[in-house]
Amino acid sequence: MKRLAAVLFTCLVITAISQAESRTDGPKGIVLAHPEEAGMGQPFLVRLTSARAFDRLSVHWMGRVVVPSVAQWNQRHVAIAMLGTDVLTIKSGPQPLLIRAWSGGKETVWHRSVTIVARSYPRQELTLPSKMVNPPGAELARIKAERIRTQTAKNTWSDQRFWQLPFHQPVGGKITSTYGLQRILNGKPKDPHRGLDFRAPPGTAVEAVADGRVILAESHYYAGNAIYIDHGNGVISLYFHLSEFEVFQGDSVKRGQIIGRAGCTGRATGPHLHLSISAQGQLVDPAPLFEQTTDQLIR
Ligand SMILES: [Zn+2]
């Protein structure tokens, strides 16, 4: 009971500090930084910095336990976790963020929250052949099996972090459809667009956004030829509608390495590259990850 009271007291003190600013010195010199707010569907980072080595760390967000890898930088131990929400499922309001750090045999717990702020995303009307909007019955079993495989891939966890910010843009073309677009297909509202579409003529080289390992490279009903790359610590990139694969499942890839060629396989109105980013199973807006640094995604 005494210990519980001590932990609660520590939490209260830290919470009181945290309301003034998101960057605080915890006991034993651990510095925690994270944004107070994040837009719906937007990615953000949590960073823990300590002069002393961490024995163990965990970041708890949206039902996930994230154990970020620790790097040494400037004689400090630094751990970074990429978190975010999915525009399909998230509601506005505060979301609890719990962080636990063990250092020198002692545990520090931070009870925080990140307020998810509503965003109005634009609308787009599309007309497609009705067989692509409503798949034929014979394809339903295939679509279901693919959904299970892609869910598993999106939720891959690996202990080592390979990604760095900013991400490498996979093709040079401009963005034609942004994240969060409210799409109306043949007059019916559909799920929002949970990725970026880049203009890319057929055959355009598609490059990896960061170092990682190919965990899926196969043909799907909706996504066409699709590649999933695991960048470690719960961050996965997805590339859809490719005309060709330039890598195999299991390959290790480097940031900027050619992994495939753009095309219009699967459900696509024309040749383009669709890119999605999964952070802890949430399909977040990839755009800030190309433009912003670690420091900008913590504020
Ligand atoms: Zn798309």
Give the CATH number for residue 34.
Answer: 2.60.40.10
Q: Are 35 and 22 in contact (CB under 8 A)?
A: yes
pLDDT at 25: 55
Task: Look at residue 17 and tell me if it is in a domain.
Answer: yes
- 170 Cα–ligand 1 center, Å: 14
Question: Which are the contacts of 120, defined by CB distance < 8 A and separation ≥ 6?
Answer: none
Per the structure, the count of domains in the chain is 2
Q: What is the CA radius of gyration of the chain?
A: 21
Q: 61, 33, 60, 58: which is closest to 48 by C-alpha? A: 33
| 153 and 66 both lie in a single domain | no
Task: Look at residue 201 and tell me if it is in a domain.
Answer: yes
- Tens-of-pLDDT digits for all 299 residues of the chain? 344 444 333 333 333 334 333 555 555 589 999 999 999 999 999 999 999 999 999 999 999 999 999 999 888 999 999 999 999 999 999 999 999 999 988 999 999 999 999 998 999 888 877 766 778 888 999 999 999 999 999 999 999 999 999 999 999 989 999 999 998 888 888 889 999 999 999 999 999 999 999 999 999 999 999 999 999 999 999 999 999 999 999 999 999 999 999 999 998 889 999 999 999 999 999 999 999 988 899 98
| 270 and 152 both lie in a single domain | yes
- 294 Cα–ligand 1 center, Å: 26
Task: Assign 52 to helix, strand or coil.
Answer: coil
- 176 Cα–ligand 1 center, Å: 9
Task: Look at residue 168 and tell me if it is in a domain.
Answer: yes
Phi, psi of 61 (to 5 degrees): -150, 125
- 177 Cα–ligand 1 center, Å: 7
Which pair of structure tokens corresponds to residue 271? 């040749």
- 252 Cα–ligand 1 center, Å: 25
Q: Are 192 and 180 in contact (CB under 8 A)?
A: yes
- 199 Cα–ligand 1 center, Å: 11
Alpha carbon distance 34, 46 (integer Å): 5
Task: Look at residue 296 and tell me if it is in a domain.
Answer: no
CATH number assigned to the domain comprising residue 263: 2.70.70.10
| 41 and 166 both lie in a single domain | no
Task: Look at residue 158 and tell me if it is in a domain.
Answer: yes
Beta strands in 137-295 (DSSP E): 175-177, 182-185, 188-189, 196-199, 205-207, 212-220, 224-230, 235-245, 252-253, 258-262, 272-279, 282-284
| 80 and 152 both lie in a single domain | no
Structural domain of 213: 123-290
| Cα pseudo-dihedral 161, 165, 170, 172, rounded to 10 | -170
| 88 and 148 both lie in a single domain | no
- 195 Cα–ligand 1 center, Å: 6
- 112 Cα–ligand 1 center, Å: 34
| 95 and 160 both lie in a single domain | no
pLDDT at 17: 37
| 66 and 189 both lie in a single domain | no
| 97 and 130 both lie in a single domain | no
- 68 Cα–ligand 1 center, Å: 29
| 100 and 145 both lie in a single domain | no
pLDDT at 23: 55
Which residues are within 5 Å of ligand 1 (an ion), measured at CB? Answer: 197, 274
- 197 Cα–ligand 1 center, Å: 5
- What are the contacts of 190-194 at 24+ separation with CB within 8 A? 191/88, 192/87, 192/88, 192/121, 193/124, 194/41, 194/86, 194/87, 194/88, 194/276, 194/283
Pairing state between β 282-284 and 106-117: unpaired
Task: Look at residue 299 and tell me if it is in a domain.
Answer: no
| 131 and 32 both lie in a single domain | no
pLDDT at 24: 57
| 110 and 132 both lie in a single domain | no
| 157 and 263 both lie in a single domain | yes
Question: Which are the contacts of 138, defined by CB distance < 8 A and separation ≥ 6?
Answer: none
Instruction: Using the 3D structure, point to which of 119, 134, 154 is the last residue of a domain.
Output: 119
Instruction: Using the 3D structure, point to which of 60, 90, 119 is the last residue of a domain.
Output: 119
Task: Look at residue 295 and tell me if it is in a domain.
Answer: no
pLDDT at 5: 41
Q: Are 276 and 237 in contact (CB under 8 A)?
A: yes
Length of the chain: 299
Q: Which helix (H) or strand (E) holds 25?
A: strand 24-25
CB atoms within 10 A of CB 174: 9
Task: Look at residue 231 and tell me if it is in a domain.
Answer: yes
Instruction: Using the 3D structure, point to which of 86, 101, 119 is the last residue of a domain.
Output: 119
3-state class percentages of the chain: helix first, strand second, coil last, to nearest 5 = 15, 40, 40
Question: Which are the contacts of 261, defined by CB distance < 8 A and separation ≥ 6?
Answer: 202, 203, 204, 205, 206, 242, 243, 244, 246
| The pTM of the whole model exceeds 0.95 | no
CA angle 226, 39, 291 (to 5 degrees): 60
Residue 118 carries which side chain, given as an amino acid letter?
Answer: A
